A = this chain, B = another copy of it.
């Protein structure tokens, strides 16, 4: 048994049985070890941004970490943007990054780089395994760190010699077990303080994020809201939100600074549960970074690492919310398929909601076009919403891939802006290879629409030659239907809302991946 075998044994022994991968020569012993353990499901991404984004989507839905297999510093670098998103999502993940054999590092071969420096900004923990004898214990430690609530990025560097050397005889049969960290609720003083604020009758908002976006926690928050007359708001983006009919479905913090400031203006107190303070996504000259009203207090009741469901239960008890108090939940509202006419945010939303099956997973990287979808899906059948948490575009296609691997019996509907989609377009191929149950709707406006808005925001005039060269994707136009087909995926282009609704219905009924290019 060599170190690579030990790594496989430890992953599988701790229920990490999916590995999103793009290996290279320095990981070849690990590949051989994976090859000898077919109970590990290896899923190839043709680019590492697909690998890490899929591991994120998988863990959000499976509620356990996947492993990734990345090739040295550059392979890790290619996956960093989606690791950034995963870190912001509170996603558990165990990255295995191969490195040169230890004694080869000083020779500065072409692929040598400082992996620790690269990994640190997008990891909670980075560790280079010193030798084969440490593979078992270090891997178990990494899994335990990944599992630390709400989920952490653990990056293990595996030198080739640690992979190929034999593990000590005595260590072979011992399966190292990872810690499952204990998750506490907020402490009772913090709960009493929050209750005092709520009882003060000053205008109070509870902002929720992280695991508070699940059905049970939201219901408790809804009961507190009704009993105490406080308002609720969701964080701008959340890793996973259970929402739709029968659930407490919240509005979220707007992206546009002025809208957010207006929304928060009335509140004298903001209580945070599982999310940070409401701050601007970007700072603009002459606009605030802190979005709350001057003089308002912002207090954290519970960070995202705590047991938020229990925290909300304790808060409800402290506030004397009777068990008879019920929350306001979303009604199920059937939406008619849109008629002929252009594909607008509203008709897109109608088409999506019209075709959404029960228990769908909605992956949202729709950027500028999708904002209406959130309000209409409030009354759609119950579903999970996965959002872009870290602002680094190019997560949508991999995220849908990972979610579909975790939940093969559920339909994934991915709303995908075209500019962002091109970042990790290779992920469509993996969706086909794994026969994932995903409908991708490409919102083809052939431009980085958000940048047109932002240039106006900073007082730029109408875009000139250079701005248009950097903002527009119209020369040449990308034919997404042909692109998807070239990667083996059935696809159709639609030009009006009625066609979109018709194709969506067909695509949802279709088993396997399907792409609809919506010309907007």
Contact = CB atoms under 8 A, between A and B. Distances in A.
Given A100-B283, A470-B23, A429 B476 contact: yes
Contacts of A279: 104, 107-109
B80 A40 contact: no
A233 interface: no
A485 B478 contact: no
This chain: how many copies in the complex?
Answer: 2
Contacts of A103: 283, 289
Interface stretch (A113-121, A174-182, A219-227, A500-508): A113-121
Interface stretch (A340-348, A349-357, A461-469): A461-469
A32 interface: yes
Interface in A243-293: 276-277, 279-283, 285, 289-290
Nearest to A453: B25
A84 interface: yes
Interface stretch (A43-51, A146-154, A317-325, A370-378): A43-51
A465 B110 CA distance: 31
Given A77-B80, A110-B281, 10 more contacts: A38-B466, A46-B423, A77-B84, A78-B80, A104-B280, A160-B283, A161-B283, A429-B478, A482-B483, A483-B487
A101 interface: yes
A306 to B, nearest CB: 18
Given A23-B451, A160-B283, A164-B458, A464 B35 contact: yes
A493 to B, nearest CB: 11
A331 to B, nearest CB: 32
A289 B160 CA distance: 13
Contacts of A36: 464
Nearest to A480: B486
A29 interface: yes
A201 interface: no
A184 to B, nearest CB: 23
20 contacts: A22-B470, A25-B451, A31-B470, A35-B464, A38-B466, A42-B469, A77-B81, A80-B118, A103-B283, A108-B279, A110-B389, A110-B390, A110-B391, A111-B392, A115-B121, A423-B426, A433-B475, A480-B486, A481-B486, A483-B487
A159 to B, nearest CB: 10
A498 B201 CA distance: 84
A477 interface: yes
A479 B485 contact: yes
